[in-house]
Amino acid sequence: MPADDLQQQLVKYLEDVHSTEQNAITQLRDGADSADDQELASAFRQHLAETEEHERLISERLEAYGASPSSLKDNAQKGAAKLTGMVAKAAPDSSGKLAIQAYSFEHLEIASYRMLREVAQRAGDEQTVAVAERILTQEQAAAKRISGLLEQVAEHDLERQGVAA
């Protein structure tokens, strides 16, 4: 694949992860405000600060290519995040639903950053490789933290609903 084609593909991946971060920011803000399990809300707030930094780093990499985020992709992702958040809030086990969504979304981000890193390596863009690796490490840590809270959140929701065993 010619270098120009690789760079074009890299820009597409950068646009995609930027829009994914827009979704994550929306989900994390809403989740931090909605989760009634305090440790889960705290995990959301902590990762929100990291995610806002991820969005900034990806925007900088797009700018390095003379590109900008895709407003269409960003708005679609924000809308999807709002919709999934509304569904979770409507459930009697809303903290559990938020935790499940966050856990699955972190793994979407992990896969996305692994792909971005691979394309950046093939395009010879070491700066984007470094950014992808840095973010990937934080996404893996966030997934691990959420994973460690799943049983606690389930217990919390069951007690809240009066169905704890």
Full set of structural domains in the chain with CATH: 3-161 (1.20.1260.10)
What pLDDT was estimated at residue 161? 78
Q: What is the pTM of this model?
A: 0.86
What pLDDT was estimated at residue 63? 96
CB 147 within 8 A of CB 103: yes
Per-residue CA distances from 4 to 26, 94, 117, 123, 139 (Å)? 33, 46, 17, 9, 29
Closest Cα to residue 147, out of 117, 120, 110, 115? 110
What pLDDT was estimated at residue 77? 54
Q: How many CA atoms lie within 13 A of 87 on its CB side?
A: 11
Which residues are CB-neighbours of 65 under 8 A, at least 6 positions away?
Answer: 7, 10, 11, 14
What pLDDT was estimated at residue 140? 98
Per-residue pLDDT of the chain (165 residues; tens, 9 = 90+): 566 789 999 999 999 999 999 989 998 998 898 888 899 999 999 999 999 999 999 999 999 999 987 566 555 555 555 555 554 455 546 788 899 989 999 999 999 999 999 999 999 999 999 999 999 999 999 999 999 999 999 998 888 877 766
Taking the C-alpha atoms of residue 143 and residue 141, their distance in angstroms, rounded to an integer, is: 5
